[in-house]
Amino acid sequence: MSWFDISADNLRYVVSSGGDSEAIYDGIAASTFSSLGWWIYAVSIVGILLVGYSIFSSMKKVEVNLGSYWKFAIVLSLVFCTYSAFFVMLLWDVPFGLIASKMRDGTFGDSFGTLNTLFSGMAFAGVLITLLFQRKDLSETRAQIAHQQIESQFYSMLDLQQEVVRNFDLQQRGASEIVSKGRDCFKHWARWIPHHYDREEGSHEEKMAKSVASLIEKHKADLGLYFRSLYSVFRFVHSCEHKDRAQFGLVVRSLLSDYELIVLFYNSLSPRGEKFKRFIYEFALFDNLEIDLLLRDEDINLFEFQAYGSNRKILEELLVSPSGD
């Protein structure tokens, strides 16, 4: 039979049953994907990885901002590798010379239908996942903005409260000379209590209450504003939903001087300061309280141990809380 007498039916290939898995193309052994050694595929994969890494390194050296494009490139690479593997699998035993004609068959194109459906489903799932992540990011952004607004409002309120303290001034009676100014005024007010305590009559509790009442009555313009502003700051910290609100309380507590704590200590025992007690316990305001500045050392028993935080000196001397615990 001459070359011109060969028809399409005479062109055929079969797979031999030998161990080499070589295809017989018109009686001649032909190379196929199955006849290639595994090392060829290994070298191909390593080569592709090296090329990708070299491209990435080159772009990094020239300081090209890849942004999130590298993720997109990885996804495309995985899709390409999957299609390539599926292509090789379909043409595993087909001789290289017949690949072109095999690809023109309708059945060959239909073979990718399953793979296309799989990737379509994965693409739809990726869109859903992206929407979920965007929703989560939006929620986190809103929460972060809300926290920033709370922080800004807190420090604004704290600054106003400190401005109230800075504007204090005490003048001598009948003179315009300023005796104390700002936070130093609390030193004068803290000393007022024991000074008038000795002048009063009755039990310790009665003399203490009268001394505090006389102090508030004498300087109610300044002290009234001070107590209200400090109460507002702690009430805001107590009611805010910020994750670091406990730290806010520590910030306010750190700004209270020793003499401020004494004035707050005895004022909170009066009917006027009853509402302020919950903040004393919540934020352990008397953590830095100096016992020596109290009327009596045993006055520490007028508050429960939560008010003193980690003040070891007071906790060791604390005998019993008012509740008897």
At residue 175, the pLDDT reads: 63
At residue 104, the pLDDT reads: 62
Task: Using CB atoms within 10 Å of the CB of residue 215, give its burial: 0 to 12 exposed, 13 to 18 middle, 19+ buried.
Answer: buried
Residues 295-323, mean pLDDT to the nearest whole number: 82
CA distances to 145, 146, 154, 237 from 240, in Å: 14, 10, 9, 5
pLDDT of residue 161 exceeding 90, the answer is yes
Higher-confidence residue of 244 and 21: namely 244
Q: Are 238 and 279 in contact (CB under 8 A)?
A: yes
Map tokens 């073979």 to a residue: 111
pLDDT of residue 323 exceeding 60, the answer is no
C-alpha to C-alpha distance for 231 and 279, rounded to whole angstroms: 8
Higher-confidence residue of 156 and 83: namely 156
pLDDT of residue 27 exceeding 60, the answer is no
Q: How many CA atoms are closer than 13 Å to the CA of 16, on its beta-carbon side? A: 18
Residue from 210, 279, 273 nearest 239 by CA: 279
C-alpha to C-alpha distance for 108 and 104, rounded to whole angstroms: 7
At residue 96, the pLDDT reads: 65
Domain range annotation of the chain: 12-111, 155-317
Triad 262, 209, 217: Cα angle to 5°: 85
318 CB neighbour count, 10 Å cutoff:
17
The enclosing H or E element of 13 equals: strand 13-15
Higher-confidence residue of 228 and 21: namely 228
The enclosing H or E element of 296 equals: none
Per-residue pLDDT reduced to its tens digit, 42-96 = 887 788 778 777 776 776 666 555 555 566 667 667 766 776 776 677 667 667 6
Q: Are 303 and 286 in contact (CB under 8 A)?
A: yes
Map tokens 């980690």 to a residue: 310
C-alpha to C-alpha distance for 245 and 151, rounded to whole angstroms: 9
Residues 291-313, mean pLDDT to the nearest whole number: 91
Per-residue pLDDT reduced to its tens digit, 167-194 = 998 877 666 677 789 899 999 999 999 9
pLDDT of residue 142 exceeding 50, the answer is yes
Task: Using a pLDDT cut of 70, give the percent of the chain over it.
Answer: 68
pLDDT of residue 256 exceeding 80, the answer is yes
pLDDT of residue 118 exceeding 70, the answer is no
Q: Are 158 and 229 in contact (CB under 8 A)?
A: no
Q: Are 196 and 208 in contact (CB under 8 A)?
A: no
Three-state DSSP class for residue 170: strand
The band of 16, judged by pLDDT with boundaries at 50, 70 and 90, is very low
Q: In sequence order, what are the residues at sequence separation of 6 or more whose Cβ sits closer than 8 angstroms to the Cβ of residue 121? A: none
Residues 264-282, mean pLDDT to the nearest whole number: 92
At residue 140, the pLDDT reads: 73
Q: Which two tokens stand for residue 124?
A: 């739809």
